[in-house]
């Protein structure tokens, strides 16, 4: 138990730090003497090679997508599992080749050569040796493979670790260029891949070429939201819409905190709320001048507000003590009522765990609002997906075509025959239909439950929570209400590859540490200002901003 | 090598290496796995230290990375965070030396004075147990008991006494950390002292008692001199490891008290080297630590020899 706690809190720490990177431009590290870097995606040249988008219309969602700005749309919702499981691929895609694949897995590794793998190999027509690796250590496992130039035929490289993997240096050197196979109308050979919106392909594009195959692509990619306990709010007669500014939120903190009863209003929210103060996620261009978020007054205002929140005693002491791993437990137990988090956590499992702790449990999120209560709400959207797979450069063209056909199978739309196979296995062996819901058998839980194949290829994300319709309805409605607030930040989807020194400066560990100490109430805003000043002069900050200005902004523009 | 005649140097004659090899064959074979293990896991990786003098790029590999000379060390010397981490390490080490080091000795002496074997075994098991907990669990227990929302503070709050900030106070962090170490490791630390106590000839106690020596005189004149060798050895080892005060304990509590108070050299290497992909910088910090540690252990060993003790090896 102890170790798991450790791993999870570590994962949280890594992911939240990495999430910051992944949200903005995806940055890649590369040393001075390293291989040639892919450079930057320029808007016009990339547009010329991006695959055509041919949406799949064979399966209709119960709650359709709502469009926002360019490349923004909500995820479609399904209340029931499509009864008619249409087939989208005729015959088997493979031609009998043998390949190896490595994917990250946060969970128990299924037994090797199990009945599900065998069934998948049969369905795919290739011998695909699946080697799921521990997701918590994935960022340290992969660099040993790349250093030895021994990548498998097919590999998933989550984008939030692009700096660790140096993906920008791997493409073209160890990873295959898929542009000839997928650009423009070429993709129509693979209809399920063509149904992935173009924004998804940007996530795997480097230096104006297509390399990565995106999984779970979405038009609603954000860092996360500020969640609250809807059941508790309802019982107290509080409606979330009353909260229109940071001041309102602070007042709510006072109202909800009852330390004697062991209830604090807030868990950590900084990561998900600082942009509400008008600070950019990482970069902004002000009258042609490039500024890092640390340099903006809005960022300092955000840190100060969070410091006041902590000092006032509205934040749970365990959160202030850095115990992030138990954050959901605190939320389920009603020890905290407002908590920041990624949107991935708003799902069926959350509903089941929450209602197990309290039958009335209901998760909801505040609509985005500006801290001053007056400006229009705005939230920076991230790259369309972080889950991207790549093919080995040593594969022959016919092998690449074979694997792309397999990827096309894996990317079959939600509810199709292929999707059911990839996600639930063989009916009767790995799952049974229970009231129209695919329900895993014991074999299914053990062998299919890990869901490793979608890390190689998967359709665009949908919202589906069988037996938890309230979750699907709440989440889709919240997305629809907020879709207008999403906007592209500067350098969106440009996949910038930068030298190691700049990547280290961008990580700005010294500033991040001080900021965290400040919003936990241990440091003053002046300390943050000092840390930023040190970062700029001796931590490489000024050089980073100069580098970004000279190599990205002046050459390629903002990409908006 | 040929045989050397014995009487000239006053040393016993050295046998021909072939004869020695034949004689010690089984012993050498038995140590071989350990030697291989040491070579593979302790000596071969030393090669990686070369990255401390480079701008190491994992993709380019050690051979192709750019040579940077002493640049990383220059950066270290000019980095206030590094000096902060070094200061914390030395301070925590000093506090632990004063407050932790005597505890297992005292505990061993106390335990040794308990006559009932059963009570002794029971106490021993109880104090051993926390050693087998991970730091995560140990700190979780501390947080549950003493944290801001823990048992103690909720009790204080419930009785309107006001709360006591133990777990997130940077000023008293050294004491907290030492208390955690005592709770977790003191029981484990007594093993070696108990063994040394068992090695003391009981005749000495009987003779002293017959001569009218009381409890304290026996402790002072028999027990402590009997333990001296072991105590000095442990002290030498402790000093040599003065720059290694632990890693997980600080990693986990770093957010709680802030990085200014919690960063030690090992967490510094991790956060400012590995976590940000600045591998060479981390390696330089690690190498710096190793060199100082080597000097410390060398000095402590010299000191032990000067006091006529064995230290790490007999002179």
**Residue B182 belongs to a domain with what CATH number?**
1.10.3720.10
A2-23 and B248-257 helices cross at what angle (nearest 10)?
Answer: 60
pLDDT confidence band for A34 (50 / 70 / 90): very low
Tokens of residue A212, six digits: 């990565």
Assign 3-state DSSP to chain B and report helix, strand, coil percentages, each to 5: 75, 0, 25
Q: Kindly state whether residues A291 and A158 are assigned to the same domain.
A: no
Which of A143, A163, A510 is facing B81, going by the closest CB pair? Answer: A510
Q: Kindly state whether residues B92 and B173 are assigned to the same domain.
A: yes
Hey, is the C-beta of B77 within 8 angstroms of any chain A C-beta?
A: no
Phi, psi (deg, nearest 5) at residue A459: -70, 170
Does the pLDDT at position A256 exceed 90?
yes
d(CA B254, CA B272): 14
Closest by CA position to A31, among listed B260, B96, B20, B64? B64
d(CA A163, CA A26): 8
Averaged pLDDT for residues A269-275: 94
Strand A154-156 to A98-105 pairing: parallel
Does the pLDDT at position A10 exceed 70?
no
Does the pLDDT at position B3 exceed 60?
no
Determine the structural domain holding residue B93 and report its residue range.
Answer: 74-306
Interchain contact, B58 vs A166, CB within 8 Å? yes
Q: In chain A, what residues touch B148 (CB-CB under 8 Å)?
A: 316-318, 320-321
Q: Kindly state whether residues A475 and A373 are assigned to the same domain.
A: no
Q: Kindly state whether residues B163 and B195 are assigned to the same domain.
A: yes
Closest by CA position to A309, among listed A249, A239, A372? A249
Tokens of residue B123, six digits: 């106490």
Q: Kindly state whether residues B289 and B241 are assigned to the same domain.
A: yes
Q: Kindly state whether residues B63 and B82 are assigned to the same domain.
A: no
Q: Kindly state whether residues A394 and A261 are assigned to the same domain.
A: no
In a domain, B231, yes or no: yes
Q: In chain A, what residues touch B167 (CB-CB under 8 Å)?
A: 317, 321
pLDDT digits (tens, 9 = 90+) for B73-94: 998 998 889 999 999 999 999 9
Looking at the structure of chain A, the number of domains it has is 2
Q: Which of B53, B55, B57 has the most A C-beta neighbours within 10 Å, making it the best mutation to test the interface with A?
A: B57
pLDDT confidence band for A553 (50 / 70 / 90): very high
Which residues of chain B from 178 to 237 reach within 8 Å of chain A, CB to CB? none
Q: Kindly state whether residues B139 and B188 are assigned to the same domain.
A: yes
Q: Kindly state whether residues B148 and B280 are assigned to the same domain.
A: yes
Q: Kindly state whether residues A213 and A322 are assigned to the same domain.
A: no
Does the pLDDT at position A19 exceed 80?
no
Does the pLDDT at position A126 exceed 50?
yes
Averaged pLDDT for residues A231-240: 95
Please identify which residue in the block is written with the tokens 């809005």.
A298
Q: Are A120 and A421 in contact (CB under 8 A)?
A: yes
Closest by CA position to A224, among listed A378, A346, A341? A341
- Please report, for residues A259, A316, A360, B168, the alpha-carbon distance to residue A328 in angstroms, rounded to integers and kept in the order given: 18, 12, 16, 21
Q: Which of A335, A500, A502, A537 has the most B C-beta neighbours within 10 Å, making it the best mutation to test the interface with B?
A: A500
Tokens of residue A8, six digits: 């999870």
Q: What pTM was computed for the model? A: 0.84
DSSP E strands: which ranges in A248-378?
Answer: 264-266, 283-286, 289-292, 336-341, 363-365
Phi, psi (deg, nearest 5) at residue A547: -60, -45
Hey, is the C-beta of B245 within 8 angstroms of any chain A C-beta?
A: no
- Please report, for residues A546, B49, B86, the alpha-carbon distance to residue A177 in angstroms, rounded to integers and kept in the order given: 31, 35, 47
pLDDT digits (tens, 9 = 90+) for A462-482: 999 988 899 999 999 999 999
Q: Terminus-to-terminus CA distance in chain A, angstroms?
A: 46
In a domain, A323, yes or no: yes
- Indicate which CATH number applies to the domain containing A113: 3.40.190.10
Q: Kindly state whether residues B30 and B62 are assigned to the same domain.
A: yes
In a domain, B312, yes or no: no
pLDDT digits (tens, 9 = 90+) for A415-440: 999 999 999 999 999 999 998 899 99
Q: In chain B, what residues touch A539 (CB-CB under 8 Å)?
A: none
Q: In chain A, what residues touch B257 (CB-CB under 8 Å)?
A: 522
Which of A2, A31, A534 is facing B134, going by the closest CB pair? Answer: A2
Distance of CA A85 to the CA centre of its chain: 28
pLDDT digits (tens, 9 = 90+) for A380-409: 999 999 999 999 999 999 999 999 999 999
pLDDT digits (tens, 9 = 90+) for A45-68: 888 899 999 998 888 999 999 999
Q: Are A105 and A132 in contact (CB under 8 A)?
A: yes
Among residues A437, A464, A479, the one where a domain terminates is A479
Tokens of residue B299, six digits: 């000095």
Q: Kindly state whether residues B171 and B242 are assigned to the same domain.
A: yes
What confidence score (pLDDT) does residue A324 get? 83
Tokens of residue B76, six digits: 């270290």
Averaged pLDDT for residues A268-282: 93
In a domain, A501, yes or no: no
Q: Could you tell me which residue, A485 or B303, shows the higher pLDDT?
A: A485
Closest by CA position to A217, among listed A193, A194, A200? A200
Tokens of residue B93, six digits: 């080490």
In a domain, A21, yes or no: no
| CB-count burial class (<10 Å; 0-12, 13-18, 19+) for A55 | exposed
Averaged pLDDT for residues B147-163: 90
Q: Are A86 and A58 in contact (CB under 8 A)?
A: yes
Please identify which residue in the block is written with the tokens 């490791």.
B185
In this structure, how many other beta carbons lie within 10 angstroms of the beta carbon of residue A320? 25
Q: Kindly state whether residues B31 and B153 are assigned to the same domain.
A: no
Q: Kindly state whether residues B27 and B164 are assigned to the same domain.
A: no
Among residues B28, B44, B69, the one where a domain terminates is B69
What confidence score (pLDDT) does residue A436 get? 87
Determine the structural domain holding residue A290 and report its residue range.
Answer: 225-380+508-556
In this structure, how many other beta carbons lie within 10 angstroms of the beta carbon of residue B38? 12
Tokens of residue A192, six digits: 């399920």
Closest by CA position to A457, among listed A197, A215, A216? A215
pLDDT confidence band for A518 (50 / 70 / 90): very high
pLDDT confidence band for A326 (50 / 70 / 90): confident
Q: Which of A1, A142, A311, A318 has the most B C-beta neighbours within 10 Å, making it the best mutation to test the interface with B?
A: A318
In a domain, A419, yes or no: yes
State percent of chain B over pLDDT 90: 47
Count Cα neighbours of A517 within 13 Å in the Cβ-side half-sphere: 27
Which residues of chain A from 33 to 52 reach within 8 Å of chain B, CB to CB? 33-35
Which of B153, B158, B277 is facing A504, going by the closest CB pair? Answer: B277
Tokens of residue A186, six digits: 């070429």
In this structure, how many other beta carbons lie within 10 angstroms of the beta carbon of residue A311? 13
What confidence score (pLDDT) does residue B13 get? 67
Q: Are A5 and A172 in contact (CB under 8 A)?
A: no
Hey, is the C-beta of B167 within 8 angstroms of any chain A C-beta?
A: yes
d(CA A77, CA B265): 50
Interchain contact, A147 vs B58, CB within 8 Å? yes
Q: Kindly state whether residues A253 and A397 are assigned to the same domain.
A: no
Q: Kindly state whether residues A374 and A517 are assigned to the same domain.
A: yes
What confidence score (pLDDT) does residue A97 get? 94
Strand A264-266 to A363-365 pairing: unpaired
> Among all residues of chain A, which has the CA nearest to that of B75?
A538
In a domain, A149, yes or no: yes
Interchain contact, B57 vs A143, CB within 8 Å? no
In a domain, B152, yes or no: yes
Distance from CA of B74 to the nearest CA of A (A): 12
Q: Kindly state whether residues A294 and A321 are assigned to the same domain.
A: yes
Closest by CA position to A59, among listed A407, A410, A408, A414? A414
Tokens of residue A139, six digits: 């960022």
Does the pLDDT at position B144 exceed 70?
yes
Q: Kindly state whether residues A105 and A206 are assigned to the same domain.
A: yes
Tokens of residue A256, six digits: 């909800």
Hey, is the C-beta of A127 within 8 angstroms of any chain B C-beta?
A: no
d(CA A332, CA A341): 14
d(CA A410, CA A454): 7
Averaged pLDDT for residues B31-38: 95
Q: Kindly state whether residues A472 and A372 are assigned to the same domain.
A: no
Helix (H, G, I), strand (E, B) or coil at A328: helix
Hey, is the C-beta of A321 within 8 angstroms of any chain B C-beta?
A: yes
State percent of chain B over pLDDT 70: 96
In a domain, A73, yes or no: no
Among residues A460, A479, A498, the one where a domain terminates is A479
In this structure, how many other beta carbons lie within 10 angstroms of the beta carbon of residue B134? 17
Q: Kindly state whether residues A425 and A533 are assigned to the same domain.
A: no
Q: Which of A3, A7, A15, A33 has the most B C-beta neighbours within 10 Å, making it the best mutation to test the interface with B?
A: A33
The size of the A-B interface in CB pairs under 8 A is 137
Q: Kindly state whether residues A288 and A190 are assigned to the same domain.
A: no
Quote the mean pLDDT of chain A. Answer: 89
Bridge partners of A380? Answer: A487
In a domain, A254, yes or no: yes
Q: Which long-range contacts (CB under 8 A, 24 or more apart) does B75-78 make?
A: B75/B281, B75/B284, B76/B281, B76/B284, B76/B285, B76/B288, B78/A538
Q: Which of A30, A164, A317, A498 has the most B C-beta neighbours within 10 Å, making it the best mutation to test the interface with B?
A: A317
Tokens of residue A433, six digits: 């239909």
Among residues B69, B94, B117, the one where a domain terminates is B69
Q: Kindly state whether residues A241 and A334 are assigned to the same domain.
A: yes
Averaged pLDDT for residues B239-264: 90
Q: Kindly state whether residues B198 and B286 are assigned to the same domain.
A: yes
pLDDT digits (tens, 9 = 90+) for A91-110: 999 999 999 999 999 888 99
Averaged pLDDT for residues A28-37: 43
What confidence score (pLDDT) does residue B12 get? 63
pLDDT confidence band for B305 (50 / 70 / 90): confident
Q: Are A509 and B275 in contact (CB under 8 A)?
A: yes
Query: Out of A407-411, B175-179, B251-255, which region has the weakest mean confidence (pLDDT)?
Result: B251-255
> Among all residues of chain B, which has the CA nearest to that of A146?
B59
d(CA A533, CA A531): 5
What confidence score (pLDDT) does residue A36 get? 58
Interchain contact, B149 vs A29, CB within 8 Å? no
Looking at the structure of chain B, the number of domains it has is 2
Interchain contact, B78 vs A538, CB within 8 Å? yes
Closest by CA position to B248, among listed B174, B138, B88? B138
pLDDT digits (tens, 9 = 90+) for A155-210: 999 998 887 788 988 999 999 999 999 999 999 999 999 999 999 999 999 999 99
d(CA A222, CA A227): 14
> Among all residues of chain B, which has the CA nearest to that of A330?
B149
Q: In B95-132, which positions are buried (b, 16+ CB within 10 angstroms) versus exposed (e)?
A: bbeeebeebbbebbbebbeeeeeeeeeebbeebeebee
Strand A213-214 to A388-391 pairing: antiparallel
What confidence score (pLDDT) does residue A13 get? 33
Interchain contact, A317 vs B147, CB within 8 Å? yes
- Angle (CA) B80-B82-B84 rounded to 5° is 70
Q: Kindly state whether residues B39 and B124 are assigned to the same domain.
A: no
Q: In chain A, what residues touch B58 (CB-CB under 8 Å)?
A: 143, 146-147, 166
What confidence score (pLDDT) does residue B8 get? 52
Tokens of residue B311, six digits: 């230290």
d(CA B165, CA B175): 13
Among residues B21, B50, B69, the one where a domain terminates is B69
Among residues A458, A479, A500, the one where a domain terminates is A479
In a domain, A164, yes or no: yes
Q: Could you tell me which residue, B61 or A460, shows the higher pLDDT?
A: A460
Tokens of residue A169, six digits: 């240096």
Tokens of residue A330, six digits: 């605190």
Does the pLDDT at position A27 exceed 60?
no
Which of B143, B260, B272 is facing A323, going by the closest CB pair? Answer: B143
Closest by CA position to A455, among listed A102, A28, A177? A102
Q: Are A171 and A180 in contact (CB under 8 A)?
A: no
Which residues of chain A from 452 to 511 reach within 8 Å of chain B, CB to CB? 500-501, 503-504, 507, 509-510
């Amino acid at each position: 138990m102890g170790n798991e706690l450790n791993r999870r809190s570590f994962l949280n720490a890594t992911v939240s730090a990495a999430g910051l990177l992944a949200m903005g431009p995806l940055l890649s590290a590369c040393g001075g003497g390293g291989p040639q870097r892919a450079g930057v995606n320029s808007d016009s040249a990339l547009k010329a090679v991006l695959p055509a988008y041919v949406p799949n219309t064979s399966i209709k969602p119960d709650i359709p997508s709502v469009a926002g700005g360019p490349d923004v749309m909500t995820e479609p919702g399904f209340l029931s599992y499509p009864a008619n499981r249409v087939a989208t691929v005729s015959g088997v895609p493979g031609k009998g080749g043998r390949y190896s694949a490595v994917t990250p897995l946060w969970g128990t590794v299924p037994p090797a050569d199990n009945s599900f793998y065998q069934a998948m190999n049969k369905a795919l027509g290739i011998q695909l040796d699946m080697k799921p690796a521990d997701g918590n250590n994935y960022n340290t496992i992969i660099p040993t493979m790349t250093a030895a130039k021994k990548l498998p035929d097919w590999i998933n490289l989550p984008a939030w670790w692009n700096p660790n993997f140096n993906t920008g240096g791997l493409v073209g050197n160890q990873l295959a260029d898929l542009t000839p196979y997928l650009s423009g109308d070429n993709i129509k050979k693979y209809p399920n891949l063509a149904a992935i919106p173009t924004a998804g392909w940007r996530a795997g594009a480097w230096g104006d070429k297509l390399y990565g195959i995106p999984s779970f692509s979405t038009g609603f990619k954000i860092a996360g939201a500020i969640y609250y306990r809807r059941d508790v709010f309802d019982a107290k007669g509080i409606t979330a819409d009353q909260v229109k500014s940071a001041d309102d939120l602070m007042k709510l903190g006072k109202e909800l905190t009852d330390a004697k009863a062991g209830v604090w209003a807030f868990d950590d929210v900084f990561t998900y709320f600082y942009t509400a103060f008008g600070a950019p996620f990482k970069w902004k261009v002000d009258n042609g001048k490039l500024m890092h978020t640390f340099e903006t007054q809005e960022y300092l205002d955000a840190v100060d507000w969070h410091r006041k929140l902590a000092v006032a005693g509205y934040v749970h002491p365990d959160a202030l003590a850095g115990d992030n791993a138990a954050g959901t437990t605190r939320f389920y137990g009603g020890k905290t009522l407002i908590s920041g988090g990624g949107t991935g956590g708003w799902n069926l499992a959350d509903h089941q765990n929450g209602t197990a702790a309290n039958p009335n449990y209901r998760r909801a999120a505040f609509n985005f609002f500006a801290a001053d209560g007056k400006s229009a709400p705005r939230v920076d959207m991230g790259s369309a997906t972080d889950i991207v797979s790549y093919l080995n450069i040593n594969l022959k063209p016919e092998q690449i075509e074979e694997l792309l056909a397999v990827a096309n199978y894996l990317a079959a739309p939600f509810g199709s025959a292929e999707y059911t196979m990839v996600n639930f296995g063989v009916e009767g062996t790995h799952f049974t239909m229970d009231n129209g819901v695919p329900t895993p058998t014991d074999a299914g839980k053990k062998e299919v439950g890990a869901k490793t194949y979608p890390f190689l290829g998967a359709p665009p994300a949908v919202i589906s929570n069988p037996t938890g319709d309230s979750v699907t309805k709440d989440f889709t409605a919240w997305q629809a209400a907020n879709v207008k607030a999403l906007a592209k930040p500067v350098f969106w989807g440009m996949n910038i590859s930068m030298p190691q020194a700049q990547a280290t400066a961008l990580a700005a560990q010294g500033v991040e540490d001080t900021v965290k100490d400040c919003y936990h109430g241990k440091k003053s805003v002046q300390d943050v200002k000092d840390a930023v000043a040190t970062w700029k002069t001796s931590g490489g900050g000024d050089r980073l901003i100069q580098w970004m200005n000279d190599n990205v902004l002046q050459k390629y523009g903002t990409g908006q | 090598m040929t045989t050397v005649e014995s009487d000239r140097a006053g040393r016993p004659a050295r046998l021909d290496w072939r004869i020695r090899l034949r004689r010690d064959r089984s012993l050498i074979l038995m140590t071989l796995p350990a030697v291989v293990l040491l070579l593979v896991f302790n000596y071969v990786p030393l090669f990686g230290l070369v990255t401390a003098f480079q701008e190491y790029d994992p993709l380019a590999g050690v051979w192709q990375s750019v040579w940077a000379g002493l640049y990383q060390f220059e950066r270290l010397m000019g980095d206030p965070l590094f000096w902060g981490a070094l200061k914390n390490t030395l301070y925590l080490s000093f506090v632990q030396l004063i407050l932790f080091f005597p505890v297992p000795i005292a505990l061993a002496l106390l335990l040794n004075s308990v006559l009932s074997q059963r009570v002794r075994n029971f106490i021993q098991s109880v104090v051993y147990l926390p050693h087998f907990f991970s730091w995560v669990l140990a700190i979780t227990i501390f947080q549950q008991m003493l944290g801001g929302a823990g048992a103690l503070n909720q009790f204080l709050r419930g009785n309107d006494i006001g709360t006591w900030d133990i777990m997130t106070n940077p000023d008293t962090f050294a004491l907290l950390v030492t208390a955690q170490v005592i709770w977790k490791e003191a029981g484990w630390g007594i093993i070696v002292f108990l063994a040394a106590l068992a090695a003391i000839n009981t005749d000495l106690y009987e003779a002293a008692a017959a001569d009218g020596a009381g409890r304290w005189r026996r402790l002072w004149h028999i027990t402590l001199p009997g333990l001296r060798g072991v105590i000095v050895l442990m002290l030498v080892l402790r000093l040599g490891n003065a720059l290694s005060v632990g890693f997980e304990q600080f990693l986990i509590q770093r957010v709680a008290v802030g990085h200014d108070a919690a960063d030690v050299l090992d967490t510094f290497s991790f956060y400012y080297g590995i976590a940000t992909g600045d591998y060479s910088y981390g390696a330089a910090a690690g190498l710096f630590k190793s060199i100082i540690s080597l000097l410390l252990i060398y000095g402590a060993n010299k000191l032990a020899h000067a006091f006529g003790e064995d230290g790490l090896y007999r002179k």
